[in-house]
Amino acid sequence: MKLKNLALAGIGACALLASCAGGNKAAQEATTASGLNPELFSANKDGKDIKLYTLRNAAGTEACITNFGGRLVSFAIADKNGNLTDVVLGFDSIQDYINVPSDFGASIGRYANRIGQGRYVLDGDTVQLPTNNFGHCLHGGPTGWQYSVYDVAEANDSSIVLTLLSPDGDNNFPGNVQAKVTYTLTADNKLDIAYEATTDKPTVVNMTNHSYFNLGGDPSKDITDHLLTVNANSYTPVDSTFMTTGEIATVEGTPFDFRTAKPVGQDIDADNEQVRNGKGFDHNWVLATEGNIEVPAAVLYSPETGIEMTVYTTEPGVQVYSGNFLDGTVTGKGGKTYGKRAAICLETQHYPDSPNKADWPSTALRPGETYKSRTIYSFDTKK
């Protein structure tokens, strides 16, 4: 269906979706432009209401977000033929998000990526976290923020502000942490995500968005044909447990050199120890952007749809994960199964295991300080 037709059909429906401050009454029979039924996202967990919120601009671009895990459920934009195309993986109902463990679209915390052996020392105190991934703590532990219900502080047609209180001892992390995630959809098709956090005890914070992108819009086809550029001269190698070794290595002459655009699949199965350790790409690139939000950190492009996504961030690194562990056992939106490399993640972040690497940018957060991070996923369509 062409975008102009969807736009005409969707204008009235979108006004009725649960996307306004105070929770405007949704027409439960309506669907979003990307085909989601808001009624299937209404639930209560841990005494908190879960809903689907829809952001939409005049161009017809749409972002759907649930406060369960602060997740981006869909992002729909016109392709080169004018067809509205959903470019992120996820589920059709909140029950699947609750019952099927996943990071699809989530606002990750308290610490995105891995902390080695689940252990770190801060201000002389040793913190032992749960180990939920090859002997390490991944994405905040087994009950990280992706499984929490965020509170909706504000919501309107273009933005939503989500807040979360992570209590002292949450997955053994110290400190009561008050976190905030703000999603904004701009008129020029940018999804701007801003993060903030404060604490009452010294702790570590490293937040990110974990959307799985397939700019071709068809997750039955993998993303190996997508062209990727990463503005990085180096990356952080990993061992066989996906843990950073502490080395910062050049990308020069390696499969990790994406300084000029090349297909994701060109070197993804290369005869290279790091590729083998990552089962493809599952590594942190050390960005050359120096935290400048106006300098592109990465660019992803689908030749099939003409959809291009440019990533801007204040973060020093980006984890490129090429969907190596997707295996077809999960059924997502539209009844489609998600096979190996059906999507790619570009997770802006501080480097993995930074609390144990004194020479790397610090993730420590102390009382009186405010953690701030911002990432923009900017979309364009090439004709």
pLDDT of residue 13: 36
Residues 250, 366 within the same domain: yes
pLDDT of residue 2: 33
In the predicted model, what is the mean pLDDT of residues 225-243? 98
Is residue 293 over pLDDT 60? yes
| Tally of domains within the chain | 2
Residues 192, 207 within the same domain: no
Residues 208, 71 within the same domain: no
Instruction: Show which of 164, 197, 230 is a domain's final residue.
Output: 197
In the predicted model, what is the mean pLDDT of residues 325-337? 96
Residues 246, 339 within the same domain: yes
Residues 151, 213 within the same domain: no
Residues 261, 329 within the same domain: yes
Tokens of 121: 């020392």
| Residue 101, in any domain of the structure | no
Rounded Cα distance, 96 and 187, in Å: 31
| Residue 48, in any domain of the structure | no
pLDDT of residue 4: 32
The residue written with tokens 């090429």 in the block is 322
- How far is CA 110 from each of CA 33, 67, 349, rounded to the nearest angstrom? 32, 16, 12
Residues 211, 359 within the same domain: yes
Residues 208, 299 within the same domain: yes
Range of the domain at 173: 3-34+54-86+146-197
Tell me, what CATH number does 247's domain have?
A: 2.70.98.10
- How far is CA 335 from each of CA 38, 96, 130, 192, 220, rounded to the nearest angstrom? 17, 12, 34, 29, 11
Query: pLDDT category, 30, cuts 50, 70, 90?
Result: confident
Is residue 7 over pLDDT 50? no
Instruction: Show which of 171, 197, 223 is a domain's final residue.
Output: 197
| Residue 171, in any domain of the structure | yes
In the predicted model, what is the mean pLDDT of residues 327-353? 97
* Main-chain phi, psi angles of 98, to 5 degrees: -75, -40
Task: Give the pTM.
Answer: 0.92
| Residue 44, in any domain of the structure | no
Map the chain to HEC letters.
CEHHHHHHHHHHHHHHCCCCCCCCCCCCCCCCCCCCCHHHHCEEECCEEECEEEEECCCCCEEEEECECCEEEEEEEECCCCEEEECECCCCCHHHHHHCCCCCCCEECCECCEEHHHEEEECCEEEECCCCECCEEECCCCCCHHHCECEEEEECCCEEEEEEEECCCHHHCCCCEEEEEEEEECCCCEEEEEEEEEECCCEECECEECCCECCCCCCCCCCCCCEEEECEEEEECECCCCCECCCCEECCCCCCCCCCCEECCCCCCCCCHHHHHHCCCEEEEEECCCCCCCCCCEEEECCCCCEEEEEEECCCEEEEECCCCCCCCCECHHHCECCCCCCEEEEEECCCCHHHCCCCCCCEECCCCCEEEEEEEEEEECC
| Residue 157, in any domain of the structure | yes
Active site (catalytic) residues = 210, 347
Is residue 60 over pLDDT 90? yes
Residues 210, 287 within the same domain: yes
| Residue 276, in any domain of the structure | yes
| Residue 80, in any domain of the structure | yes
Is residue 132 over pLDDT 60? yes
Rounded Cα distance, 110 and 149, in Å: 14
Residues 257, 134 within the same domain: yes
Measure CA of the first residue to CA of the last residue in the chain; give whole Å: 18
Rounded Cα distance, 291 and 313, in Å: 6
pLDDT of residue 56: 98
Of 29-43, 201-215, 258-272, least confident by mean pLDDT is 29-43
Note whether 230 and 285 are within 8 A (CB). Answer: yes
| Tens-place pLDDT, residues 112-126 | 999 999 999 999 999
Residues 30, 177 within the same domain: yes
Instruction: Show which of 197, 213, 238 is a domain's final residue.
Output: 197
- How far is CA 333 from each of CA 87, 94, 186, 322, 336, rounded to the nearest angstrom? 11, 11, 25, 19, 6
Q: What percentage of the chain reaches a pLDDT higher than 70? A: 92
pLDDT of residue 24: 39
| Residue 269, in any domain of the structure | yes
Residues 14, 118 within the same domain: no
